[in-house]
A and B are shown apart, each in its own frame.
Chain A
Amino acid sequence: MSMTMTQKILADHAGLKEVVAGQLIEAKLDVVMANDITGPMALPIFKQMADHVFDKDKVVLVPDHFTPNKDIKSAENSKAIREFSLNQCLTHHMEQGKCGVEHAILPERGIVVAGECIIGADSHTCTYGALGAFSTGVGTTDIATGMATGELWFKVPSAIKFVLKGKLQPYVSGKDVILHIIGQIGVDGALYKSMEFVGEGVQELSMDDRFTICNMAIEAGAKNGIFPVDEQTREYMDKHSKKTYKEYVADEDAVYDEVIEIDLSKIIPTVAFPHLPGNAHTMDEINNDEKVYIDQVVIGSCTNGRMSDLRKAAAILKGKQVAERVRVMVVPATQKIFVQCIQEGLAEIFVEAGCAFNTPSCGPCMGGHMGVMAKGEKCVSTTNRNFVGRMGDTEALIYLASPEVAAASAIAGYIADPRKVGE
């Protein structure tokens, strides 16, 4: 056999010994997830196929996008998934104030683990590949079908292998790695493919770094991103989950479309300029250019709202003040992270520096609420997309960056190099 890690997981879930790239299969699903945008739309479609979900342990509905409900229509949408979740007696019932952003809460609650086949009606569902699972984003009809039948059709993807070596420099993190990669291969550089991350450099990346990297696989067009399971992954799953998991390793003779080596030690802080995540500029380039003055900073989201992200931002903001013309939204990704920020004194650091410290939500990432941008405004954001109109007015400009760059920029008032804070 010569299968990639992704292909082996898909083969097992399709009940096949072997699959090849391009093959169309029907695979069994371990977790099916939707949110308050995609869930309500899926319910009438689900009802055309079934009265009950295929397995109440495996279907999860997360109210996180327009919550706390931003308007009446959003309240109706949250209500629809809440009632469905309660009526169907879903094991993992999620509610505002008790959960968080979907792609942070599912790993944190141990709902997703290695070796699983997971779909979510949200494009950033690829996040869970960090745990060694096959996980991909789908649309509403797909998710309704998954909820009803526990199966879905897939085209088996080919893969690009990223061989990581070396160790990240201080003030460089997973976000810089993935922005660097998307800058290199382009926003369709991995279209329909898996991005498989391997090599000795993997062990140097924290789980939070891996979640960030897999989260943005879709921004290169990928079907999924995936990391092998190592001691860190096992430790994370043992701490967060009671589920049994299965470890997969790619065959030694697996065929890849491309093999790309990434030397982690050479990556420097990187920012994606408007209006594509692939429009990457290194901080060295930025330092030589004219300053980009900013109006807003967002630190949070399914990409970078985890504990280590907030710790890194707080370390830079501690004892400093946010620039006068800048407003900062800090949005912890889950309730657990929120309370940990309080316990560790991070909340105080953020608030004393002049940041708004908000309740877990997708919030401003997709221009929903809690930080919508006006015409001509510029924002440094730790989120994942900088498309036209993504965070508000079509003439607002979004610069995607790490929590370290976001925090340094908040203090400076322009896009700033975290390596130079304190100089």
Chain B
Amino acid sequence: MKANGKVLKYEDNVDTDVIIPARYLNSFDAKELASHAMVDIDPTFVERLNPGDIMVAGKNFGCGSSREHAPLALKTAGVSCVIAKSFARIFYRNSINIGFPILECEEAANDIDEGNDVEIDFDSGKIYNKTKNKEYQAQPFPEFLQNMIQANGLVNYVNEKKRG
């Protein structure tokens, strides 16, 4: 699996309250949530984002509330991957569980700039910055989680396990 897109860059501690503000949580319609993604810190996010674009951020991305609405909003808006120095743990779980690709890579998060053209190979964890002609290696997922991602999320994993 590969991703290809332009980069939108953010700072440390992007919290789930800004990814999808609580005032929109009376709905869990994915398209509606996506239409409000990032609105409180980046009001033009949805307009600027092209399908496949990649978010790059600092440490502790997705901190705060447990709302799965947050990775769902980003995924549905068309974000193909988030690369960050680190992720808050619930956001990390939620992303894996809904099959939304995320990668931890400090070097890439430091070096990649807003607007860079980036290609990601998820099987190898290699991140290629076409603009700067540079390559970075992300932390691979442990095998257990790779199996879950390959099963396309937790629900399928559970159902496959049940069937034996």
Contact = CB atoms under 8 A, between A and B. Distances in A.
Contact of B17 (A49, A142, A387): A387
A38 B66 contact: yes
Contact of B21 (A122, A145, A153, A389): A389
Given A49-B158, A141-B155, A142-B93, A388 B17 contact: yes
Interface stretch (A10-18, A71-79, A253-261): A71-79
Interface stretch (A185-193, A300-308, A404-412): A185-193
Given A37-B25, A153-B144, A276-B13, A221 B60 contact: yes
Contacts of B67: 37-38, 139
A142 B89 contact: no
Interface stretch (A40-48, A56-64, A282-290): A40-48
Interface centre among B22, B67, B158, B162 (most CB of A within 10 A): B22
- List 8 tightest A-B contacts by C-beta distance, closest first: A139-B94, A139-B68, A73-B26, A141-B97, A140-B68, A188-B60, A41-B28, A366-B22
A145 B154 contact: yes
A41 B68 CA distance: 9
B144 A221 contact: no
Contacts of B6: none
Interface of B: 13, 15, 17-18, 21-23, 25-28, 40-41, 59-60, 63-69, 86, 88-90, 93-94, 97-98, 142, 144-145, 148, 153-155, 158-159, 162
Interface in A118-143: 120-123, 125, 137-142
Contacts of B28: 40-41, 140
Given A276-B13, A367-B21, 14 more contacts: A37-B67, A41-B69, A70-B26, A74-B26, A122-B66, A125-B66, A141-B98, A141-B155, A142-B154, A153-B154, A187-B13, A187-B60, A368-B23, A387-B15
A47 to B, nearest CB: 10
Contacts of A40: 28
Contacts of B98: 141
Contacts of B159: 48-49
A91 interface: no
Given A139-B97, A141-B155, A144-B155, A387 B64 contact: yes
B21 A149 contact: no
A139 B93 contact: yes
A24 B93 CA distance: 13
Contacts of B69: 41
Contact of A66 (B21, B26, B68): B26
